[in-house]
Amino acid sequence: MAERVVEGGSGVASPAGRAVDPGLLVPRRSRVLEGLRGYGLIAAMWIRSTMTYRTSFFLSTFGNAAITLLDFVAIMIMFSHVDELGGFSLPEIALLYGSCSASLGLADLLLGNTDRIGSRIRDGSLDTMLVRPVPVLAQVAADRFALRRLGRIAQGIAVLGWAVSELDQLHWTVGKVLMVPVMITAGAAIFGAVMVAGAAFQFLAGDAAEVQNSFTYGGCTMLQYPPTVFAKDLLRGVTFIVPLAFVNWLPALYVLGRPDPLGLPGWVAYASPLVAFVVFLPASLAWRAGVRSYRSTGS
């Protein structure tokens, strides 16, 4: 899939095409800064606009936290009938649940609206973004910036805090303490890369936002349960193909002092930031190829 995207893009990247792209004439560093500045401006605009309907904003922020909270209530209902699930106790599962919820919430806040690109391609409104002097990805990501998604982040961190306070029998070392924030940010970066790759996929497939959702929301549903619950093949898939296991499973297993069911070496727990960096490369290449292959629907 990724290969096809790159191929499609390389056909278009003719020297003539490069010469007319003004963005490439600007030095690289300032393009990144330009992108961040544009992102900030658009996000601020959407925040002001959301605040027009203040009641609706508070309701939807609360709703955002409540949706995920009920998820956790369902897990608590499960634990009203059992003491362990896949050999894990409730606080241990809460650690998995809270960390992946916070990571996904963070990625969703910063990049979640990239999934709207399918409808933008369909109705032609992507065209206006291409002529603005701000990188398209920054515009697409900041489009309809939804501050209400702080709700999920807050809820994830709250559950994580509860888990940490319940797990006081753990031997907290400096490495384990540091692992928690690293796990959340690296996890958010991995989810973010999946979102960018999913957006790039929509240049090919059109209205396929839900495929992206099954890797992000679906991935998080899986990561909130212990890996011991799932079949080995599924574990291999989310470790080596779409490396979601690095979002929280592998770092959290290290914190909990539990073995990894696939028997990977211990140092993989520290590999999450590296994995996040590595998955962003193909995702951003796919995104570039997608934008270059884009042909407007016209009018």
Return d(Cα 102, Cα 185) in angstroms, integer.
9
In DSSP terms, 88 is beta-bridged to 85
Q: Could you give the CA distance from residue 116 to residue 201 in angstroms, rounded to a whole number? A: 12
Q: Give the closest residue to 108 by CA, choosing from 61, 146, 65, 155.
A: 146
Tally the C-alpha atoms within 13 A of residue 70's C-alpha that lie toward its C-beta: 5
Q: Which lies closer to other proteins via its Cβ, residue 185 or residue 221?
A: 221
Q: Which of 24, 36, 41, 70 binds other proteins (CB under 8 A)?
A: 70
Residues 260-299 that bind other proteins (CB under 8 A): none
Cβ-count burial 77-88 (b if 16+ within 10 Å, e if not): eeeeeeeebeeb
Smallest distance, other proteins to C-beta of residue 116, A = 13
The site that binds other proteins (CB under 8 A) totals a number of residues, namely 42
CA distances from 31 to 137, 186, 188, 200 (A): 12, 24, 23, 20
- Judged by CB under 8 A, the residue of 84, 236, 259, 274 near other proteins is 84
Q: Is 241 in the site for other proteins (CB under 8 A)?
A: no
8 Å CB contact between 135 and 196: no
Query: Restricting to residues 30-69, which ones interact with other proteins according to CB under 8 A?
Result: 53, 55-60, 62-64, 66-67
Residues 193-232: x/- map of binding to other proteins (CB under 8 A)?
------------xxxxxxx-xxx--x--xx--x---xxx-
Give residue 133's Cα distance to chain centre.
Answer: 26
State how far the Cα of 136 lies from the Cα of 8, in Å rounded to an integer: 19
Selected from 25, 77, 131, 241, the binder of other proteins by CB under 8 A is 77
Q: Is 278 exposed, middle or buried (0-12, 13-18, 19+ CB in 10 A)?
A: middle
Pick the closer one to other proteins by CB: 21 or 207.
207
Backbone angles phi, psi at 88, to 5 degrees: -110, 145
Q: Are 58 and 123 in contact (CB under 8 A)?
A: no
Candidate segments 74-82, 100-108, 183-191, 271-279, binder of other proteins by CB under 8 A: 74-82
Check binding of 158 to other proteins (CB under 8 A): no
Q: Which of 24, 32, 36, 73 binds other proteins (CB under 8 A)?
A: 73
Residue 82 as a binder of other proteins (CB under 8 A): the answer is: yes
Question: In terms of CB distance, is 134 or 200 closer to other proteins?
Answer: 200
Residues that bind other proteins (CB under 8 A): 53, 55-60, 62-64, 66-67, 70-71, 73-74, 77-78, 80-82, 84-86, 205-211, 213-215, 218, 221-222, 225, 229-231, 234
